[in-house]
Amino acid sequence: MAEIETFQPEKRTLGQILSSTSPPIRVPDFQRDYSWAEQQVSEFWEDLVAFGGNEPISKLAGKEYFLGAAVLVNNGTYHLLLDGQQRLATATILLAVLRDKINEFKADAAKQIQDQYIAFEDHLTGEKVSKIQLNVFDRSFFRDYVQAFPRVDGTVASKKSHQLVEKAYGYFHTRVAAGWDAAGGGKKGFNWAAHITQILREHLALVTVVSNNEKSAASIFATLNDRGIGLSTVDLIRSFVLQHAHETQREEILQCWDGALDACGTAITAEALMRLSWVSQHGDIKARALYKVVSEHLDKGTSPLEYSRRLRDDAVLYRRFRDGDSDDEDLQESWTAPRTLKANSAYALLLSAHHKLTSDEQRQLAKALVSLAVRHNIVCNLDRARYETTVYAAAKRISEGHGYGAAIGDLRSISPDDELFVKNFCALTFSQSEHGTARYLLRGVEASLAATKELVVAGSSKVHVEHIYPQTPREGMALPNHKQWVNRIGNLTLLDRRLNETIKNAAFADKKLEAYSKSQLALTKALLSFPDDWTSELIDRRSFELCTEAQKVWPQTLV
């Protein structure tokens, strides 16, 4: 007989939920991590204080501040919390701050808060049981940093969600300390903190919906998202993977996801990684369709464990590519260039190449990708969507086993010829916001001109993009059609920051003497051969000379 699914809606205070819910509350591992930033935390505090912070408890009798809903599924071992995590976790953080402050004045009262609402010790087993346990990614940190009394020494916030918990604690700590002092400290401060604690436990209310059927978790979870809870694609896919995995595989799957999210760090969005990993195997997909397509693919028989392993491996690779993590300087350059050139789609092809091609083929393909990005996207300013579509198609062909030749053929099909390259390169201009791209091109030309590879151009804080004809020319120095020439590629060079600051808006002849002659860069020293009167004709001439070198660095034949 099918299990009867029941739902029991009930209004309960926060104190009732935390103190009397049995079995304990646990956030499922498929749920999102702690995500409230200062805006949500401050609103929580300000609403609480506005509700009753300045009112005696006697005047609050019968009044409640409604926090929303909490949806739980009782599976016999835990009450799985499907909605309400952020509010309950944040309330627990505030209770912990109040506990710690009250402990300075009255230890027994602090222990009462700890035992009733945060965590208690089972004296029969010796086990310490938390009233609410977060998901596997936050559980240990939340327990050791917030729920332990006293806090576990050396607890480190290693994930973004941990840092948000830490910031929430810090925010409440500041506000509670200020309220305590404003009340007069000592006994008066204690009374104020006790008042806030009482409001939290007796006057903050939630409507709790409890189901007795764990199988209903997926449908409730999806319904909540449809109704505007706003779970991210990453949350949804992780949820789906864990719900559809065999229980014997869940621990390794969690480790895979933990490794993938760790590799992402703060610079890489997990959603971008998931899309690139998928595209590297199956071809183009829009971000908004990622959950639907991945879940359907898993429904058709793909192993959740294998999917998670590949995602973890691709996350590590993606991080290496973006950071240029290689002992080979040429490979470093090829790996980091797509990031600089804003051609992130190239990483899908690098991922598929890593899984299917030889090391030499991967190296050549990486160079070809960069050459195509420069020629197609930067110099000729052609349709970037076409670049992305072509790269994604090449990634899929490699994943399907068609090999290096097929991928190169795809890239060559959209590579601009030299005639178009020269025409567009000589007319290139770069605004201030585009100096990163200009710097990349100038560094490439410098590498081509340099007699040896001993000199490496330093970062943008030490070596500036210099306008030979000044952005703000002195009186009588302005060229006709100033805006047409000042940002032209032929008017740009690289120069040491200190030298650049000494010459400012000087005339070309003075710049040559005071700065360019002292530069060690071949690109800049070459300016010494030009006449002292820097004209628009010379800017055109230098643009063409730079173009000649650029064709060597990013040749069509490489693609």
Q: What pLDDT score was predicted for residue 463?
A: 87
Mean of pLDDT values over 129-139: 92
Q: What pLDDT score was predicted for residue 397?
A: 95
User: What percent of the chain has pLDDT above 90?
Assistant: 61
Are 97 and 52 spatial neighbours (Cβ–Cβ below 8 Å)?
Answer: no
Q: Is the pLDDT of residue 31 over 60?
A: yes
Confidence of residue 9 (pLDDT cuts 50, 70, 90): low
Q: What pLDDT score was predicted for residue 549?
A: 95
Q: What pLDDT score was predicted for residue 499?
A: 85
The rounded distance, in Å, linking the Cα atoms of 166 and 157 is 7
Burial of 339 (0-12, 13-18, 19+ CB in 10 A): middle
- DSSP symbol at 474: P
Length of the chain in terms of residues written: 559
Q: What pLDDT score was predicted for residue 38?
A: 93
Q: Is the pLDDT of residue 461 over 80?
A: no
- DSSP symbol at 24: P
Q: Quick: pLDDT tens for 170-207.
A: 999 999 999 999 999 999 999 999 999 999 999 988 87
Hey, which of 53-62, 483-492, 495-504 has the most confident mean pLDDT?
A: 483-492
The type of residue at 165 is V
Angle at 258 between CA 238 and CA 35, to 5 degrees: 70
The rounded distance, in Å, linking the Cα atoms of 248 and 230 is 30
Q: What pLDDT score was predicted for residue 216?
A: 52
Q: Is the pLDDT of residue 398 over 50?
A: yes
Place of tokens 């081509």: 448
Mean of pLDDT values over 391-395: 96
Burial of 134 (0-12, 13-18, 19+ CB in 10 A): buried
Mean of pLDDT values over 93-113: 96
The rounded distance, in Å, linking the Cα atoms of 219 and 361 is 46
Q: How far does Cα 332 stand from its chain's mean position?
A: 22
Q: Is the pLDDT of residue 313 over 70?
A: yes
User: What percent of the chain has pLDDT above 70?
Assistant: 93
Place of tokens 């480190």: 156
Query: H/E/C letters for each residue in 139-186?
Result: HHHHHHHHHCCCCCCCCCCCCHHHHHHHHHHHHHHHHHHHHHHHHCCH
Q: Quick: pLDDT tens for 364-387.
A: 999 999 999 999 999 999 999 999
The type of residue at 371 is S
Residue-by-residue DSSP string for 207-232:
EEEEES-GGGHHHHHHHHIIIII---
Place of tokens 């000494």: 502
Q: What pLDDT score was predicted for residue 10?
A: 79
Mean of pLDDT values over 516-543: 93
- Least confident interval from 16-20, 120-124, 401-405: 120-124
Q: What pLDDT score was predicted for residue 476?
A: 83
Q: Quick: pLDDT tens for 268-308.
A: 788 899 999 999 999 998 888 888 899 889 988 889 999 99
Beta strands in 14-109 (DSSP E): 25-26, 65-74, 79-83
Q: What pLDDT score was predicted for residue 149?
A: 93
Q: Is the pLDDT of residue 457 over 90?
A: no
Q: What pLDDT score was predicted for residue 3?
A: 47
Q: What pLDDT score was predicted for residue 190?
A: 96
Mean of pLDDT values over 89-97: 96
- The H or E element that residue 436 is part of is helix 435-449
Domain ranges of the chain: 7-228, 240-421, 424-558
Dihedral sign, CA of 304, 310, 313, 315? negative
Q: What pLDDT score was predicted for residue 206?
A: 85
pTM, rounded to two decimals: 0.69
Mean of pLDDT values over 388-416: 95
Q: What pLDDT score was predicted for residue 20?
A: 87
Dihedral sign, CA of 296, 279, 238, 96? negative
Strand 128-130 relative to strand 119-121, pairing = antiparallel
Q: What pLDDT score was predicted for residue 4?
A: 47
The type of residue at 232 is S
Place of tokens 């409604």: 66
Q: What pLDDT score was predicted for residue 292?
A: 87
- Other CB atoms within 10 Å distance of the CB of residue 485: 21
Confidence of residue 544 (pLDDT cuts 50, 70, 90): very high
Confidence of residue 8 (pLDDT cuts 50, 70, 90): low
Mean pLDDT of the chain: 88
Q: Quick: pLDDT tens for 33-82.
A: 898 999 999 999 998 998 887 777 777 887 888 887 788 888 888 898 88
Q: Is the pLDDT of residue 227 over 60?
A: no
Q: Is the pLDDT of residue 355 over 90?
A: yes
Confidence of residue 389 (pLDDT cuts 50, 70, 90): very high
Beta strands in 244-316 (DSSP E): none
Q: Is the pLDDT of residue 481 over 60?
A: yes
The rounded distance, in Å, linking the Cα atoms of 201 and 498 is 62
Q: What are the φ and ψ backbone dihedral angles of 493, each rounded to 5 degrees?
A: -150, 180
Q: What pLDDT score was predicted for residue 7?
A: 52
Q: What pLDDT score was predicted for residue 230?
A: 47
Q: Is the pLDDT of residue 471 over 80?
A: yes
Confidence of residue 357 (pLDDT cuts 50, 70, 90): very high
- Least confident interval from 127-131, 172-176, 235-239, 274-278: 235-239
> Coil, helix or strand for 476?
coil
**Tokens, residue 516:** 């360019």
Mean of pLDDT values over 451-471: 81
Confidence of residue 223 (pLDDT cuts 50, 70, 90): low
